[in-house]
Amino acid sequence: MEVSPEELQTTDSITVRALKDISFGSAAGVAAKFFEHPFDLTKVRLQSQVLDAQARFSGPIDCLVQTWRKEGVRGLYRGLPAPIVGAMAENASLFWAYTELQHAMRWWAGMPISQTLSLGQLALAGAGAGTLTSFVLTPIELVKCKMQVQMLRPPPTSPSGVPRKLPGPIAVLTSVVRDTGLRGLWLGHTGTLIRETGGGAAWFASKEGVASLLLARRGVTDKRELHAWESAVAGACAGVAYNVALFPADTVKSAMQTEMELRGPRAGGARPTFAGVFRDMWRAQGVKGLYAGCGITVARAIPSSALIFLIYDGLSRRFG
């Protein structure tokens, strides 16, 4: 098959494209994370109490109010360094993998590099990007979740009775490795894998689908012609689709990653499993428990995801 000049790509052009995706994705992720972190903290705390005999919080508003009263602004942003790193890693790898998987599909099918893929193909590329990202994201989310529930138990004290400073992200990370080995960093990975694979497909496909509809209203097909508000609207819809798609997987993942902090080790040092924790949560509260924190998560995902695509598309138009 003859290859057109349009399809010939040098290593330099691939590298530049990758660097742009990584840079734009990182910038968008960091900006969104500063906005959404208090709501993410609320979600994790609500998810972590599903298996408790007595709930600490009656709902998301109660959780936010209690956190503000007892821990102040610092409490609302507890564990932020890990999510900042996570947001950079997540969005950089998502956008990079999503772009490269699209190019791989075109190459495999012998399509011109400029040809638009179908919505199903874009969803498949999004799912693949989510799968790859889950391996990077799980250790970061493990540290984040552990830090977000630190204040829900009495702080450790020194022999003299003075409360000790709570461990930071590096201390939490090294503690996990020391106690469970490197494998322990991927505790809850099944949940992250399910969430990111299905969520990645829903996130990108929803954004692309809504963006195409908005462009069609103006008789335009070039995605580079998206207005800023159109990127934001499409991103907001994508945020809802991502979180509603497989939210129970995220709930089980959060419960697994915070179990040691809130309920201590299991008998015989048994390692929690995704299926086992899912079963326990279903028995404890059913569907309600598996969707604990979903409302506030969707509410914060709307502006957060809108901001991510607003920044990413804007940077792509300006420097792409």
The gap from C-alpha 206 to its chain's centroid, in whole angstroms, comes to: 16
pLDDT digits (tens, 9 = 90+) for 185-232: 999 999 999 999 999 999 999 999 999 999 999 998 888 899 999 999
- Closest by CA to 64, choosing from 87, 50, 44, is 44
pLDDT digits (tens, 9 = 90+) for 92-123: 999 999 999 999 999 999 998 888 899 999 99
- Closest by CA to 260, choosing from 250, 271, 268, is 271
Which of the listed CATH numbers 3.90.1150.10, 1.10.10.10, 1.50.40.10, 1.10.340.70 matches domain 11-152+166-319? 1.50.40.10
Q: Write down how long the chain is.
A: 320
pTM: 0.83
Whole-number average pLDDT of the chain: 87
Cβ 176 vs Cβ 184: under 8 Å = yes
Top pLDDT among 261 and 237 is at 237
DSSP assigned state of 50: T
- Closest by CA to 43, choosing from 255, 203, 280, is 255
DSSP assigned state of 36: H
Tokens of residue 178, six digits: 């020391």
Cβ 125 vs Cβ 117: under 8 Å = yes
Residue 23 has pLDDT above 60, yes or no: yes
Domain ranges, ordered by start, for the chain: 11-152+166-319
pLDDT digits (tens, 9 = 90+) for 52-108: 878 888 888 898 899 889 888 888 887 777 778 888 888 999 999 999 999 999 999
Q: Give me the amino acid identity at 207.
A: K
Q: Average pLDDT of 157-182?
A: 78
Residue 155 has pLDDT above 80, yes or no: no
The gap from C-alpha 81 to its chain's centroid, in whole angstroms, comes to: 15
Cβ burial, residue 76 (10 Å; 0-12/13-18/19+): middle
Residue 166 has pLDDT above 80, yes or no: no
pLDDT of residue 2: 40
Instruction: Give the rounded percent of residues in the chain with a pLDDT score beyond 70.
Output: 92
Find residue 92's DSSP bridge partners. Answer: none
